[in-house]
Amino acid sequence: MKSDKSHPPKPKREFGGCIELIPARPDYTEFVDSRRIWGFPISYLTHFLLQENPHFSGQKTLPPDQLVLVYSNAIVILRGWRLELMLSHLICGRVARVHAEQHLGPLMLDESWVSEILVLLRDNTILDEEKLERWISEQS
């Protein structure tokens, strides 16, 4: 005898048997701020630098961390809180999107919080470290 209660259908598995497929790794990392979305191929990330935000000066309202991502065609600077927590995901190529939120939301101790995203496309001026430093300071 059938029950009158309906049961939700079981989710259909993409592959039966003893092998489970994981979602595809993203090809790009998107950087989303209030004005635009930038996307860079994950494979173009050549190196990164995690450091103290040079504009922090101990002020509680300013983000203390700065993460500089160097791609073969651009430099992306992230400023925020607890950015070290995203490094293992970054190294494994699992960061698909970074969203900047100006106002710090509820405190999530196990998550990074990005408040600023700065992007500098590579051209001849990027080779001059002094011009790069000047550009970074002008973005603040």
pLDDT in tens, 85-134: 999 999 999 999 999 987 766 666 788 999 999 998 876 444 556 666 77
pLDDT, one tens digit per residue, over 27-81 is: 999 999 888 899 999 999 999 999 999 888 888 778 899 999 999 989 999 999 9
CA 30 to chain centroid, in Å, comes to 7
User: What CA–CA distance (Å, rounded) separates 48 from 69?
Assistant: 4
- The DSSP element (H or E) to which 78 belongs, if any, is strand 74-81
User: What CA–CA distance (Å, rounded) separates 133 from 6?
Assistant: 64
**Coil vs helix vs strand at 53:** coil
Tell me 14's DSSP state. S
User: For the whole model, what pTM was predicted?
Assistant: 0.71
